[in-house]
Amino acid sequence: MLHLGVNIDHVATLRQARYAQMPGSPNAEPLILEAARECEAAGAHSITVHLRADRRHIVDADVFLLKKELRVKLNLEMGNTPEIVEIALRVRPDFVCLVPENRQEITTEGGLDVTAHASGLKETTSRLQANGTRVSFFVDPVLEHIRACAGCGADMVELHTGTFANASGKERDAEVERLSAAAELAHALGLQVNAGHGLTMRNVCDLFAVPHLAELNIGHHLVARAITTGLRESVREMLLVMGGYGG
């Protein structure tokens, strides 16, 4: 069964739009835990949040609260920086997904250059694993990077589907081929295969040609759709569509 991790960063984006300067205000809303509870009620398998260096949406207190209160797994997305690694070691999330992070970007723009940063990634991975956290690397579907993920001791890869999501026609077919080859190799190397970025109800079925997928991480579309349907319904609909994945 294909699992769904719901990224609720944008729930915090909305809160911070008004309350960034008033942390702890009794009026601060929407509440991150309330949103997570709606996802749980719909059947989501995990909740993902990205604690960025600039704290533009999720803040430290959100991560500690979710770790304490969630009934499903917590997946912490993060850059491999000393400050955030120390927080992850204190939080002890179920999963960490290591991503490249750039202050100017609107969202994560591409996968990690695992080969270029192998020694730092390897060290962080073993520290997190020794602390009880399973570690995923967010990567483009490039075979060299997949091999490097295994070399660094990662438990999982999250394949970057942003290019797939923005392509159409033959270009999308070609990207599905690249994602499939990456998934085959990752699986053969013993890595769990996850995927995410830019996925919507409109494009997710085209991804079903990719083998060995275990979990999809989806944020923007679900939270955007929640404005009209409610979060519980948007997550429920996506899970229904994902039920069509044959593996």
By annotation, the residues acting in catalysis are 50, 77, 197
- Regarding 148 and contact with ligand PXP (CB under 6 A), the answer is no
Q: Residue 195 has what DSSP assignment?
A: E
Binding footprint of ligand PXP, residue count (CB under 6 A): 19
Q: How far is the CB of 220 from ligand PXP (least distance, A)?
A: 3
The answer to whether the beta carbons of residues 167 and 129 sit under 8 Å apart is no
Q: For 187, phi and psi rounded to 5 degrees?
A: -60, -45
Residue among 17 and 130 whose Cβ is closer to ligand PXP = 17
In the chain, how long is the greatest CA-to-CA distance?
51
156 touching ligand PXP, by CB under 6 A = no
> Cα–Cα distance between 175 and 47 in angstroms, integer?
27
Among the residue ranges 30-38, 118-126, 169-177, 190-198, the one whose residues contact ligand PXP (CB under 6 A): 190-198
Nearest to 45 by CA among 162, 194, 160: 194
Judged by beta carbon, residue 98 or residue 176, the one nearer ligand PXP is 98
- Within residues 84-123, the interface with ligand PXP by CB under 6 A covers 97, 99, 107-108
CB of residue 27 to ligand PXP, shortest distance in Å: 26
Of 139-147, 171-179, 195-203, 207-215, the window that binds ligand PXP (rule: CB under 6 A) is 195-203
Residue 62 contacts ligand PXP per CB under 6 A: no
The answer to whether residues 44 and 25 touch, using CB atoms and an 8 Å cutoff, is: no
Q: Are 50 and 77 a contacting pair, CB within 8 Å?
A: yes
Beta bridge partners of 74: 47
Q: Which is nearer to ligand PXP, 99 or 156 (CB)?
A: 99
Ranges of beta strands (E only) in 131-233 are 134-139, 156-160, 192-196, 213-218
Cβ distance to ligand PXP smaller for residue 57 or 232: 57
Q: What are the strands, taking DSSP E only, across 83-240?
A: 95-98, 134-139, 156-160, 192-196, 213-218
User: Could you say whether residue 199 binds ligand PXP (CB under 6 A)?
Assistant: yes
Q: Dihedral through CA 35, CA 237, CA 71, CA 83, nearest 10? A: -60
Min separation Cβ 26 and ligand PXP, Å: 29
x-or-dash pattern for ligand PXP, window 212-231, by CB under 6 A?
Answer: -----xxxxx----------
Least separation in angstroms between CB 25 and ligand PXP: 25
Sequence letter at residue 52: R
Residues interacting with ligand PXP, by CB under 6 A? 7, 9, 50, 77, 97, 99, 107-108, 138, 158, 196-199, 217-221
